[in-house]
Chains A and B, each alone.
Chain A
C-alpha cells in the first residue's frame, strides 16, 4: 500500500484517535507504548510494505511482527483503516470472544502475523520467517517492532546473534526507543544504553532516527534495504504517549486507560473522529 508521505500524518491522527477510543472503551490497555509506535507502523503499512489485505497468507507478502504485543490497539486501529477490523469491533477490545484480544491472536486475526505478548519472542520468530525466506529465495522483508524495555529480555540477544550468523539482510528490526517502562525510565530500571552500540557489537547495521519523522523512517528503511549481508536495527527515538499532551512521557500511561474526562480532552487534541 503506497500513500504519499504527506498523507501519513492524517492517517496517524485517526489511528491515534481510534487507539485511544478502543482503550478508553475497554477500560484497560497500554496507551503510552501504542501511541509511541503509531508513526512507525503507519509508515510501514501505508507507504513501505507490500501486502494484500484480502489475502493475509499471500506467501510473498512483507511481514510485520509486533513483538511488543501490548501496543496492539495501534495495530487494530491500522487494521480498521484497512477494512480488516469493522467499526463495531472497535467497541470489543479486550472482551471475551473478540478478535481484538488484549494481545494479538493470529488464530482470530491472521493479519497480525504473530501472537505476541510474552516479551522477547518476536525477534526469534522474525529470524525464522526471514530464514525461511532465504531458503526459498523469496524477496519479502520481515519487519519486527520491539520495545526498548523488551530488549532487557535475554532471548532478544540470542536472536540478535542468530540473525547475524544467518546473514539475514531482509530482516529489519525497529526499536521503539521511548525510554519508559512500567517501573520507570529504562535507564534506572535496567540500563540499555548505549543501545545502538549494543546492536552494532552484535554485527547489525544500525540506523538511529526520530521515530515520529516520516521522512526519516522511510529513508532509514530504504537504507536498510540497500544493506547486504547483515540485518538492520533502526533505533527509533520516540515519545511515549505521543500525540496527547498529558500522556507524553508519562510513565503512568504505560498500562492505564484514560478516564472518560481524559478521553474527552484527548479527543480534542487528536482533532476528533468519526466515532466515540
Chain B
C-alpha cells in the first residue's frame, strides 16, 4: 500500500502543480521520498516534529494548495490530535493526512508504534473524513480521490503489500461500501487489511455450510448508511472486522447507523488492548484476527445460536 501511495503521489505531482507534500523524518518508510526527489521544491521534511507537521500543512493549505502530510498512524493521530482538530479540521483546511504503518502492521515495533485508536480519534472530529483502503488498487483510487475533493481527510494505510482484491476498473466512491461477495447466512463488513482476511474466512466457512457475504467498507466516515440498512434487513448476522480497537472504530460506526432490525452486530477487532511486538502475521494470530481465528469466531457465534 505504501509503495502505491508513493507512486500515486508522483502521478499527482505532475497533474497538480499546487500539490505539496510534507513528512516528519519517515519519508523512506511512508514512501513520500519518490515525490521528494521528483519535486524537491514542493516537498518539505520538518524533522521529528509532528505537531509542526500538521500546523505547517494547515498554513500551506490556506494559500490554496493541496497538501499531503504523512507519518506513521500512531503519530499522525493521537500525537497530534489537537493540531489536527484546531489547525486543520475546524477551519476545514485542504490537508490530506496519509498515515502508514497502521494497526498491527507496525509489527515488531510494538505497542508504542501501533495505533488501535486512530480511526476513533479522527472519526470524532467534525469535517474530518476517514478512509481505510482494502488493497493497493483501492489505495491508488483513494489517494487520487482525496486529492480531488476539498477539505481534510485521514487515510489509513497498512505497512505491507496486501493481496489484490479490486481490479483496475474499480472506482472509489466516498461514502459507499462495496459488496465483494454475496452470502446467505450473514455478512462481514471489513476495512483495510481485514478485508482480504474476511474473504478468506468466508471461503473457510463454506466448509461448515455457512455462506457468508463480504462487504468492503473503506469509507468509514462518511459511512454507507443505506447499504448497512439493506444488509440489516437481509441478514441476521453482521460481523464488523478491523485491526483497530472495537471501541470507536468501524464496528462502532456501523452500530451508530444500524436500524432497529433483528440483525445482530458482532464486532471483531482489537478488544480494548494495546499492541505487542511481532511480525504482522504473528500479531494477527496473537489478536485472533487471522483468517482461521476469524472463521472460528464467526462459526461459534452462528452455530451457538443455532442450538
A131 to B90, CA, bound (A): 22
Q: Knowing A59-B64, A115-B91, say if A126 contacts B59 (CB, 8 Å).
A: yes
Name the contact of A135 in the complex, choosing from B41, B49, B61, B92 (C-beta under 8 A): B41
The 4 lowest CB-CB distance pairs between A and B, nearest first, are: A128-B59, A124-B55, A158-B52, A158-B49
Q: Knowing A107-B91, A118-B86, say if A166 contacts B62 (CB, 8 Å).
A: no
Query: Could you tell me which residues of chain A, from 38 to 83, have a CB within 8 Å of some CB in chain B?
Result: 59
Minimal Cβ-Cβ distance residue in B for A133:
B63
Task: List residues of chain B with CB within 8 A of the CB of A152.
Answer: none
Minimal Cβ-Cβ distance residue in B for A160:
B52
Apart from A114-B91, A116-B86, A125-B58: 17 A-B pairs, beta carbons within 8 A: A114-B87, A118-B82, A120-B51, A124-B54, A124-B83, A127-B55, A128-B56, A128-B61, A129-B59, A131-B59, A132-B59, A135-B42, A135-B65, A155-B51, A159-B55, A159-B56, A162-B47
Task: List residues of chain B with CB within 8 A of the CB of A106.
Answer: 91
Point out which of B49, B52, B83 has the most chain A C-beta atoms below 10 A from its C-beta: B52
Task: List residues of chain A with CB within 8 A of the CB of B59.
Answer: 124-132
Q: Are B92 and A128 in contact (CB under 8 A)?
A: no
A34 on the B face (CB < 8 A): no
A136 on the B face (CB < 8 A): yes
Minimal Cβ-Cβ distance residue in A for B63:
A132
A166 to B91, CA, bound (A): 25
Question: Can you list 13 A-B contacts (CB < 8 A)?
Answer: A113-B62, A114-B87, A114-B91, A115-B90, A118-B82, A121-B83, A121-B86, A126-B59, A128-B55, A131-B56, A133-B63, A155-B83, A162-B47
Minimal Cβ-Cβ distance residue in B for A112:
B91
Which residues from chain B sit less than 8 Å from chain A, CB to CB?
A: 20, 41-42, 44, 46-47, 49, 51-52, 54-65, 82-83, 85-87, 90-92
A123 to B52, CA, bound (A): 9
A158 to B87, CA, bound (A): 15
A126 to B86, CA, bound (A): 14
A118 to B87, CA, bound (A): 9
Q: Are B42 and A125 in contact (CB under 8 A)?
A: no
Q: Are B92 and A124 in contact (CB under 8 A)?
A: no
A270 on the B face (CB < 8 A): no
Q: Are A127 and B52 in contact (CB under 8 A)?
A: yes
